[in-house]
Amino acid sequence: MQWSEMRLVLTGASGGLGQAIALSLAGQGCSLMLVGRSEEKLEALKAKLPRTQDQEHWVVACDITQPESRDSLACVAAAQGINGLINLAGSNQFVTFENQQDDAIAELVQTNLTATLQLTRRFLPLLKQQPESLVVNVGSILGSIGFPGYATYCATKFALRGFSEALARELSDTAVQVLYFAPRAARTSLNTDAVMAMNAQLGSAVDSAETVAEALLAAIAARQPQTYLGWPEKLFVRVNAIAPGLVSRSLAKQLPIIKQFLN
């Protein structure tokens, strides 16, 4: 499938990464269905997207945690011959687990995990009708490395990684390809000032949204099953899988700094 043949639903399109990804994909010739809760933000983005005469872009304002919204999004997508779903919508909260409220835990799990899985399931029949189609799940480096202050976020992204692996294997005899794409920290409003200050003090690299978008396009072009962004983060993912004690010791040394920014 060439870029110009791709007709992709992009959830989280109105966010920091979503806007950069939408601009890059549209620049390659893809047609995009932009999804988020704010119609105004999505329309403003749509107005900025490059568009040739072969391209179309659509706006669907909806909350993916609502079953009826997922149903109507799937119906609109089916009518437009959508052949890809990029699950980018998500949120996080940097907080000690003890201080995280029950409703915040439920909301994070609902958005990052449950609704994302349910939306994917809702889309599968229509993706299977296409000669070739894609599901791209945007996880995080924190979907492979448990990090203080992100217990619930890590739980959702670890789960999304497992989901992606299992689903890719379940669909390996179909024309639906499932990719898992894990950025490290990026400069968007998802990260509070406290998180940005902590990253600076820890010396952790922070990517621009454009860098993440470029890497996502490369992952799609190569149909790379799993992508982990950044060096040394991709090495830490491997070390954490083989010898988690090493990473635990290193994070234990950083914990006093991390705690200065946690509440």
Ligand X SMILES: NC(=O)c1ccc[n+]([C@@H]2O[C@H](COP(=O)([O-])OP(=O)(O)OC[C@H]3O[C@@H](n4cnc5c(N)ncnc54)[C@H](OP(=O)(O)O)[C@@H]3O)[C@@H](O)[C@H]2O)c1
Contacts with ligand X by CB under 6 A lie at: 11-18, 36-38, 41, 63-65, 88-92, 111, 138, 140, 183, 185-186, 188-191
If you search the block for the tokens 């179309």, which residue do you land on? 56
Q: How far apart are CA 15 and CA 190, in angstroms?
A: 8
Q: How far is the CB of 251 from ligand X (least distance, A)?
A: 18
**Residue placing its CB nearer to ligand X in the complex, 71 or 249:** 71
Residue 213: enclosing H or E segment and its boundaries?
Answer: helix 209-222
Looking at the DSSP bridge assignments, the partners of residue 35 are 11, 60
Looking at the DSSP bridge assignments, the partners of residue 181 are 138, 227
* Tokens coding 249: 């010791």
Q: Name the packing angle between helices 233-242 and 244-261 (round to 10°).
A: 120
CB 184 within 8 A of CB 141: yes
Q: How far is the CB of 157 from ligand X (least distance, A)?
A: 7
**Residue placing its CB nearer to ligand X in the complex, 203 or 245:** 203
Q: How far is the CB of 13 from ligand X (least distance, A)?
A: 6
**Residue placing its CB nearer to ligand X in the complex, 41 or 57:** 41
Q: How far is the CB of 69 from ligand X (least distance, A)?
A: 8
Nearest to 17 by CA among 139, 168, 132: 139
Q: Which residue is nearest to ligand X (CB)?
A: 15
Q: How far apart are CA 108 and CA 91, in angstroms?
A: 7
* Tokens coding 202: 């820890």
Q: How far is the CB of 53 from ligand X (least distance, A)?
A: 28
Looking at the DSSP bridge assignments, the partners of residue 207 are 186
Q: How far is the CB of 17 from ligand X (least distance, A)?
A: 3
**Residue placing its CB nearer to ligand X in the complex, 61 or 171:** 61
**Residue placing its CB nearer to ligand X in the complex, 6 or 142:** 142
DSSP code, position 253: H
Rounded to 5 degrees, φ, ψ at 122 are -65, -30
Q: How far is the CB of 32 from ligand X (least distance, A)?
A: 13
* Tokens coding 190: 């998802």
**Residue placing its CB nearer to ligand X in the complex, 65 or 226:** 65
**Residue placing its CB nearer to ligand X in the complex, 38 or 224:** 38
DSSP code, position 55: -
